[in-house]
Amino acid sequence: MFENRTINRLDRMLDAALTGDFRESDYDETKLSRLETKWKRFLTASSLSRDALTREKENVKSLVSDISHQTKTPMTNIRLYVSLLEELLLTETGMTRQEEALGMLKELTRQTEKLEFLIQSLTKMSRLESNIVEVRPEKQPILPLLSEVIDEAVAKAEQKRITIHNTYEGEACASFDFKWTKEAVGNVLDNAVKYSPAGSTVTISVTEYEMYLAVSIKDEGIGIREEEIPKIFGRFYRAEEVRQEEGVGIGLYLTREILKKEDGYVKVKSKPGEGAEFMIYLHKGR
């Protein structure tokens, strides 16, 4: 009988804790009462910790929003003045070292674009890590997403005479957030184009499994050494072989984090000199 009363009292304590209504009963010298007191202190500390975490999240959200907003106007102004200066240089006649000045402007434009990309990537990364934005998967067909990702990559691919070949025309569905998964798949495809030689082909295919839908992006690039594969998804990591290429080393990190939030994951198969194949696994859902 005593054991039943003890279990019932513990059960009521846990129920009250879960609903946030826990209150200490009259104190006595029993072990259960001392446990009740400790339980109250634990819940109070947990509540304070949760409140502090909420405040910290709001502070990060505000900081990220401020950085994004405050850098937008300066970057726009830099682009404007670069454009005006370029027009001025092109209309000048008899100017010495004109070509050199135009070359400097071109480099300034390139660095401005790189800075903009870095700011955007850091903003996305901060929002994901602090759960400021939520990834909301919903069941939908994969083909529209692949079509949009390819459309956005075509211009860069054409500059290098790279063919993006999508072999999939089916109607398979998976559970994913369209906007964020487009970012994840787009990052992988952008890398495939970036690190592939001119005139090569990037092949996209889809394989259905019982629980997952796998999107394969396979290139004919330089490949990845086995010891590098675990590192490429780290923040700001760039292998020695590709540091001459544009990039900041955030894309694959974002891809992995986005997929994790959708109950998905990414795998890589590669050998140096034989290209790389990234397999993006999206959960099919119910």
Residue at a domain's end among 109, 133, 157: 133
**In what helix (H) or strand (E) does residue 106 lie, and over which residues does it extend?**
helix 98-129
What pLDDT sits at residue 90? 82
Are both 66 and 162 inside the same structural domain?
A: no
Are both 121 and 173 inside the same structural domain?
A: no
Dig out the tokens for 95 from the structure.
């100017």
Are both 162 and 101 inside the same structural domain?
A: no
Are both 102 and 202 inside the same structural domain?
A: no
What pLDDT sits at residue 28? 46
**Cα 269 from chain centroid?**
21
Are both 86 and 162 inside the same structural domain?
A: no
The CA-atom distances, in angstroms, between 180 and each of 163, 170, 216 are: 25, 22, 18
CATH of the domain at 17: 1.10.287
Range of the domain at 165: 138-283
Are both 189 and 209 inside the same structural domain?
A: yes
Are both 210 and 159 inside the same structural domain?
A: yes
What pLDDT sits at residue 243? 53
pLDDT digits (tens, 9 = 90+) for 144-157: 999 999 999 999 99
Residues of the chain with pLDDT under 50: 2, 26-29
Are both 102 and 214 inside the same structural domain?
A: no
Tokens 């304070």 appear where? 48
What pLDDT sits at residue 27? 41
The CA-atom distances, in angstroms, between 68 and each of 74, 79, 121, 123 are: 11, 17, 11, 7
Question: Cα separation of 78 and 75, whole Å?
Answer: 5
Are both 195 and 276 inside the same structural domain?
A: yes
Are both 52 and 117 inside the same structural domain?
A: yes
